Amino acid sequence: MLKIESNVALGPRTTLGVGGNAQHFVRVEHATELSEALAWAKQRALEVRVLGGGSNIVVADSGVPGLVIDMALRGVQIQNHGAEVELRVAAGEPWDEFVAASVSRGHQGLECLSGIPGRVGATPIQNVGAYGQEVAETISQVTALDTIKSTLSTFSAEQCQFRYRDSWFKSREPGRYIVTEVSFRLRHHAPPALRYAELERHFQRSGIAAPSLSELREAVLQLRREKSMLLDASDPNGRSCGSFFVNPVLGAQQFSQFLERAAGLGNLPQYPQSDGRVKLSAGWLIEQAGFPRGTRDGAVGLSTKHALALVAHSGAQASDVKRFAARVQRLVLERFGVRLEPEPVFWGE
């Protein structure tokens, strides 16, 4: 039987640690419970939100109305297909535990995504990526519950319409589908994806020409740790959403205009894309706009190790986070003509 709770604090359930209460809250561990929870909310005309690891949301200080579902479906099914393996993973599986298990089995395809907090069900929503790898490269299909029709739907990778930090679920019909299972197609004992300059430099310094999957995972964890991008309650930079802004991707004309504004700065990080556009470093833009690492405004500021991470210190509220983020956006836009888009989702007013 469902245990629906009222006025449940959400701040402690997020990595940022700010925000008010959920009007109603339920933890679901089985598919039938998910259907029951949606029916309960529908009978009362309540909005539904899904909470995973809480690593990509900012909850308003006033809290959120409706029903918040804590997605806790667990389970991993493995099928071998010659040189490949398919893994069907329940949405509530902790992401990094799944990545660690895949690497230990010699399954290649997710190793650069080590150390990312959250749960499996969130990864296809924004096409999670890091260190030169994205889940779009290995997701074969996504199963999701249609909250309007109350039916399960299966989406192929093509139907997911993955783009940089984006998907059909995020942009086309946000909130309609609740991911229940994600299928990944990984390779047996293939070389790791070493195509990110920072990782390449790491192994050059280490004198390792051909790192193993486990060595690459450990390298990623080390780099993330150095940037305070691992969950660590003892780290003063630890209360964050990780990267708060998406690296902007500019078309040819906008990039040309940007170069005029950035003239003379030198050492401009730029990453040409296959479609002719150019990706910029949001962290670089933030620092060049006058926000060095460690900048603080009251209880909120930038990480001392990574300009792309907004940190909520003791006493911070969601309104402080939103105000500081808006200030960063405004000054980057004024300086470079580039609009930074937040990566986390904002819940409530």
Active site residues: 165, 243, 343
Furthest-apart CA pair in the chain: how many Å?
A: 65
**Cα–Cα distance, 103 to 161 (Å, whole number):** 27
**Cα–Cα distance, 194 to 287 (Å, whole number):** 28
Paired tokens of 74: 């667990």
Paired tokens of 269: 């990080």
The burial of 252, by beta-carbon neighbours within 10 Å (0-12 exposed, 13-18 middle, 19 or more buried), is given as exposed
* Local structure of 28: helix, strand or coil: strand
Which of 224, 220, 223, 270 is closest to 249 using CA atoms?
A: 270
